[in-house]
């Protein structure tokens, strides 16, 4: 038993005080950000009722107080997230965004009346399990003594190639795909947010390290590299918020949150591995375990996505799980899934036949 205890301590001694600080800050960040999705969505709906919707290019939500409450809540969460990256590696901090998925999905079910299937709940549980797995096997934070050291990492050829590919892909999505498919394909808006987001996290981490060193007595504000990272952060965050607002206004929150999380986390981990070489400080077992944890999170988000337009059926003829038509709306007028609400209304007005309910009798006769 003594040997087993020592082995356990050796395996997890990497949870340093800095990693613990980053963990606490990341959890707090997810709580605020998860709630902000719902508050902002309510504000966008209220603004869209009296002006041009954000999904159609409008900015009337800027005059809506409720949207600003959600924005302030998100800013608080992002500040906590910003601080978390200064203490812990991105591989530890970023996957904890799964907690924000659970919060936003639960609040969307309660407040926005967006349906959450039983398997969606299971998906939330899988997200938590995967996140815990990654946290327990996260690498230690790299020792960095100057923002110049971060700059050298950011200007290595491999990372510059990654950054160029990301910016190029984002520009193609904005110029070529958003005008044609932005209102009907959720992946377009989220693709831009996730691509730019991976670069913003690297810049946020660099800026956070610079500020942490400055507060500890080693002034990093005298270096121009610190201000370059600041400019990149501002540019990337503004771009992310713009297209995230469009995605939230056009599509179901329970869909936007998990898909955004999966793409953003995947690209951020790739960027961190390239720039900060996180996996160079780990053995094969730890890397494989982290990947298994991430696959578990992907499975959870897959369940959330596939059950987004399903409800738990309950009738006297037996309990059945029924998949609703994509043009179905609930009693409150909220969109049930990926097709925008405006398109669904056009389908309903053009349809010559009323919707029929699928009834499966128990005696084996033909369904009606």
Query: Average pLDDT for residues 156-160, to the nearest whole number?
Result: 96
Query: What confidence score (pLDDT) does residue 364 get?
Result: 44
Among left, alpha and beta (phi > 0; psi -120 to 50; other), residue 141 is: beta
Most confident region among 6-20, 43-57, 94-108 by mean pLDDT: 94-108
Query: What confidence score (pLDDT) does residue 121 get?
Result: 82
Query: What confidence score (pLDDT) does residue 190 get?
Result: 93
With 90 as the cut, is the pLDDT of residue 226 above it? yes
- Considering only residues 164 and 124, tell me which one the structure prediction assigns the higher pLDDT: 164
Query: Average pLDDT for residues 9-31, to the nearest whole number?
Result: 76
| CB neighbourhood size of 75 (10 A) | 16
With 80 as the cut, is the pLDDT of residue 175 above it? yes
What would the DSSP string read from start to end of 174-188?
IIIIHHHHTTT-HHH
With 60 as the cut, is the pLDDT of residue 350 above it? no
Query: Average pLDDT for residues 11-39, to the nearest whole number?
Result: 81
Most confident region among 159-168, 178-187, 295-304, 313-322 by mean pLDDT: 159-168
DSSP state of 278: G
Query: Average pLDDT for residues 52-81, to the nearest whole number?
Result: 81
Interior angle at CA 83, CA 218 and CA 209, nearest 5? 30
State phi, psi for 183 to the nearest 5 degrees.
Answer: -85, -10
Query: Average pLDDT for residues 236-247, to the nearest whole number?
Result: 90
**What is the chain's mean pLDDT, rounded?**
78
With 80 as the cut, is the pLDDT of residue 12 above it? no
Handedness of CA 259, 261, 266, 271 (dihedral sign): positive
DSSP state of 321: E
With 50 as the cut, is the pLDDT of residue 75 above it? yes
The burial of 111, by beta-carbon neighbours within 10 Å (0-12 exposed, 13-18 middle, 19 or more buried), is given as middle
CA distance 208 to 202: 10
- Considering only residues 120 and 220, tell me which one the structure prediction assigns the higher pLDDT: 220
Query: Average pLDDT for residues 18-32, to the nearest whole number?
Result: 88
The burial of 301, by beta-carbon neighbours within 10 Å (0-12 exposed, 13-18 middle, 19 or more buried), is given as buried
Query: What confidence score (pLDDT) does residue 351 get?
Result: 47
CA distance 166 to 232: 14
Q: Measured between alpha carbons, how far apart are the two ends of the chain, in Å? A: 65
Query: What confidence score (pLDDT) does residue 368 get?
Result: 43
Query: What confidence score (pLDDT) does residue 367 get?
Result: 46
User: pLDDT confidence of 205, banded at 50, 70, 90?
Assistant: very high
Of 197-206, 305-314, 324-333, the one with minimum mean pLDDT is 324-333
Of 121-125, 170-174, 197-201, 356-360, the one with minimum mean pLDDT is 356-360
Distance of CA 84 to the CA centre of its chain: 16
Q: Where are the domains of the chain?
A: 16-114, 140-281
Query: What confidence score (pLDDT) does residue 96 get?
Result: 82
- Kindly report, residue by residue over 253-312, the tens digit of the pLDDT: 667 877 787 788 889 989 999 998 888 778 888 889 988 988 898 788 778 767 766 655
Query: What confidence score (pLDDT) does residue 311 get?
Result: 56
Distance of CA 115 to the CA centre of its chain: 19
User: pLDDT confidence of 17, banded at 50, 70, 90?
Assistant: confident
DSSP H/E element including 245:
helix 224-250
Query: Average pLDDT for residues 186-191, to the nearest whole number?
Result: 92
Query: Long-range contacts made by residues 277-280, C-beta under 8 angstroms, separation at least 24?
Result: 277/142, 277/153, 278/89, 278/90, 278/91, 278/139, 278/142, 279/139
User: pLDDT confidence of 64, banded at 50, 70, 90?
Assistant: confident
Query: Average pLDDT for residues 65-93, to the nearest whole number?
Result: 88
In sequence order, the β-bridge partners of residue 323 are 310
Tokens of 231: 């400019």
User: Who's near 70: CB < 8 A, 6+ residues apart?
Assistant: 36, 37, 38, 39, 40, 41, 42, 43
């Amino acid at each position: 038993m003594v040997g087993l205890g020592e082995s356990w301590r050796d395996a997890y001694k990497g949870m340093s005080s800095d990693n613990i600080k980053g963990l606490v800050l990341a959890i707090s960040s997810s709580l605020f950000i998860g709630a902000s999705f719902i508050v902002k969505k309510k504000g966008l709906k209220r603004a869209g009722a009296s002006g041009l919707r954000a999904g159609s290019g409008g900015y009337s939500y800027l005059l809506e107080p409720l949207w600003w409450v959600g924005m302030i809540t998100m800013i608080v969460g992002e500040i906590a997230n910003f601080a978390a990256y200064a203490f812990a590696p991105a591989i530890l901090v970023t996957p904890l965004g799964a907690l924000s998925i659970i919060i936003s999905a639960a609040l969307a079910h309660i407040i926005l009346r967006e349906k959450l299937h039983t398997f969606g709940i299971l998906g939330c549980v899988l997200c938590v399990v995967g996140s815990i797995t990654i946290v327990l096997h996260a690498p230690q934070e790299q020792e960095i003594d100057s923002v110049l050291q971060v700059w050298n990492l950011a200007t290595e050829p491999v990372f510059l190639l990654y950054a160029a590919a990301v910016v190029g892909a984002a520009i193609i999505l904005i110029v070529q795909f958003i005008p044609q498919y932005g209102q009907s394909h959720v992946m377009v808006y989220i693709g831009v947010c996730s691509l730019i987001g991976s670069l913003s996290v690297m810049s946020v981490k660099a800026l956070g390290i610079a500020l942490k060193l400055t507060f500890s007595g080693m002034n990093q504000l005298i270096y121009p590299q610190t201000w370059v990272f600041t400019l990149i952060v501002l540019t990337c965050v503004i771009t992310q918020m713009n297209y995230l607002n469009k995605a939230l206004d056009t599509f179901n929150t329970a869909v936007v949150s998990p898909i955004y999380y999966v793409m953003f986390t995947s690209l951020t981990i790739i960027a961190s591995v390239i720039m900060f070489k996180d996996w160079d400080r780990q053995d094969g077992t730890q890397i494989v375990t982290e990947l298994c944890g991430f696959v578990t999170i992907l499975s959870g988000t897959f369940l959330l996505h596939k059950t987004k337009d399903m409800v738990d059926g309950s009738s006297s003829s037996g309990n059945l799980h029924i998949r609703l038509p994509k043009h179905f709306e609930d009693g409150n007028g909220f969109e049930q899934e990926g097709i925008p609400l405006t398109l669904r209304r056009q389908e309903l007005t053009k349809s010559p036949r009323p919707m029929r309910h699928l009834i499966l009798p128990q005696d084996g006769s033909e369904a009606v």
